[in-house]
Structure 1
Amino acid sequence: MAGVTSESLAALATELEPVLATADLATADELFAALDVIDSSAALRRSLTDPARSPEERASVVRSLFGSKVQPTTARILEAIVSKRFRKERDLGDAVETQAVAVVTAQAERSGLRGLEELEGALLRFRRTVLTSHEVQRALTDAQAPTESKQRLAARLSPQVSDGARLLIDRAVTSPRGVRPSALVERFAQAVAARQQRWIAQVTVAKELDSAYQERLLASLNRYFGRELKLDVVVDPAVVGGIRVQVADEVVDNTVSARLNDLNRKLAS
């Protein structure tokens, strides 16, 4: 997905962030169910992606089709999605899938970094288990096999996982949308990993930091960012001195190299 679709996904991520903060797994389940309806009807996809229709007209189609059948939160997410433009009809379904996974990921995030790590770990363990057995791969990709049998097999291969992981694994094995279940699970895991960057402070310094300094630095960063972070320390002599910290898109750069670059820019202007 590129161009206009990428712009739409970026806009949705920002617009729906407050919604994700309170959405539950039932919302994710409803989004997946809506995705099945959208995928099953070419006419509906054309209607929901028709650039000749206004965003409100496309949202009206969603309300008439899903409004009485889903939670208000689900309807709000679907309306937000169809209000955006997409390069291809397929991209609309991908956007719904992306938001369903985002709901599951946000729900895990309410437990902090540990919740995200557990969700990602469960997905990757399942993927590794599937890839070690050609027999399992054939069973999960057999178009004639009942959905329930695939779910039972997936449950045996991934016992004692969270409800969120179960939802995503079941989705991958029953409705992979043209890709292998293991590939879809990996895509889901990548989305969880991307969310974890919000909790990881990448610290760049010129030389190794001792453990005592790292503890003090971590405590300070936790206070500054208002959450419990995990340090990822990178040693780069090119920074000369000072420290650079990045958490998601926020950067605090107090390195000597950054100050020198800033000075050079001022002198050149």
Structure 2
Amino acid sequence: MAGVSSESLTKALAALEAKLPSASLQLAKELFGILGTVDTSAGLRRALTDPSRNGEEKAALVRQLFSGKVSADAVEIVSGLVSSRWASARDIGDALETLAASVVIAVAENKSAVSASGITGLEELENDLFSFNQAVASNHEVQRALSEPQASAAAKVALAEKLVPGAGEEAKVLIGQAVSQPRGIKPTRLVARFAELAAKRQQRWIATVSVTRPLTETQASRLQAGLNALYGRELKVNISVDPTLIGGIRIQVGDEVVDASVVTRLGQLHRQLAG
């Protein structure tokens, strides 16, 4: 996904963020259900991505189709999604799949975030997804069964759950979605994609800190407390020494970088003088 579709997905994910602290698996299931409806109707996909229709017209169509059948949150999320522009009809389905998976991942994150670090719930989810893919990879009969077109979705989900009997509810939702609605790719590939989304979410809980010289225990404790206060959550802080910084500190949490090194400031000054 690139160009206008990528921009629309980024916008949708940013809007979704406000709902994730109280997200539920039911919301994710509703979004996956809407995805199923969209995927089975080429006419609906064209209507929701038609560039000649304005965003409100497309949002009104979503409300007409799904209000009263799913939660208000689900309708709001999908209405916002279709209001944006999409390069292809396939892209909007991919985006909806990403939003639904992001809700599931947030539920796993929130399970442990209230008591310690959300990284724990995300690690458990990733492990469950990895275990499923390993189990499938090691059994050719299972691979054939999951790709059998005559087998029902329910039968495939039941088989998948037997492969990872100890998996959490969040993993079961994502694995069930992958085997019942793989959308033209191998279920294991889709599960791997879900795991990548979880890993990316996990990076929000990890602060990678580069400093010019080793910190004392007191300095490290102050840094930990300051970062926790700044981001509003208990971060895992990884500190490394990088003499090339010359001075200052560089911190990365997820996609956000805070760079106060002398090298960076000199580089910025050089660009200002050259410009």
Whether TM-score is above 0.5 comes out as yes
Q: 1:205 aligns with which of 208, 211, 215?
A: 211
TM-score (norm 1): 0.92
Q: Which residue of 2 aligns with 1:180?
A: 186
2: CA distance, partners of 1:26 / 1:266: 52
2: CA distance, partners of 1:101 / 1:6: 17
> Which deviates the most, 116-125 or 203-212?
203-212
Q: 1:242 deviation in Å?
A: 2.9
CA contact (8 A) 1:58 1:83 kept: yes
Q: Which residue of 1 aligns with 2:231?
A: 225
1: CA distance, partners of 2:17 / 2:3: 22
Q: 1:172 deviation in Å?
A: 0.6
2: CA distance, partners of 1:209 / 1:27: 44
CA contact (8 A) 1:23 1:73 kept: no
SS at match of 1:16: helix
In the alignment, is residue 146 of structure 1 matched against residue 185 of structure 2?
Answer: no
Q: 1:260 deviation in Å?
A: 2.9
1: CA distance, partners of 2:203 / 2:37: 33
Q: 1:192 deviation in Å?
A: 0.8
Q: Which residue of 1 aligns with 2:261?
A: 255
Q: Which runs of 5+ in 2 are unaligned?
A: 113-117
The one-letter code sitting in structure 1 at the alignment partner of 2:263 is S
Q: 1:10 deviation in Å?
A: 0.9
TM-score (norm 2): 0.91
In the alignment, is residue 78 of structure 1 matched against residue 84 of structure 2?
Answer: no
Q: How many residues align?
A: 269
Q: Structure 1 residues 214 and 121, CA, compared in 2 at 3 Å: closer, same or farther?
A: farther
Q: Which runs of 5+ in 1 are unaligned?
A: none
Q: 1:71 deviation in Å?
A: 0.5
Q: 1:150 deviation in Å?
A: 1.3
Q: 1:259 deviation in Å?
A: 3.3
SS at match of 2:208: strand
1: CA distance, partners of 2:146 / 2:217: 47
CA RMSD of aligned residues (A): 1.9
1: CA distance, partners of 2:125 / 2:261: 35
SS at match of 2:258: strand
2: CA distance, partners of 1:248 / 1:201: 8
2: CA distance, partners of 1:209 / 1:256: 18
Q: Structure 1 residues 215 and 121, CA, compared in 2 at 3 Å: closer, same or farther?
A: farther
Q: 2:248 aligns with which of 239, 242, 249?
A: 242
Equivalent positions of 1:39-54 (< 5 A) are 39-54=39-54
Q: 1:250 deviation in Å?
A: 3.0
Q: Which residue of 1 aligns with 2:115?
A: none
State the identity as a percent: 51
2: CA distance, partners of 1:136 / 1:211: 52
Q: 1:132 aligns with which of 138, 148, 151?
A: 138
Q: 1:263 deviation in Å?
A: 4.3
Q: Which residue of 2 aligns with 1:100?
A: 100
Q: Which residue of 2 aligns with 1:5?
A: 5
| 1:11-40, Cα deviation, whole Å (9 max, x unpaired) | 111122112332311111011111111111
Q: 2:197 aligns with which of 187, 191, 202?
A: 191
2: CA distance, partners of 1:3 / 1:225: 30
Q: 1:141 deviation in Å?
A: 1.0
Q: 1:209 deviation in Å?
A: 5.2
SS at match of 2:22: coil
Q: 1:56 deviation in Å?
A: 0.9
Q: 1:163 deviation in Å?
A: 1.2
Q: 1:60 deviation in Å?
A: 1.0
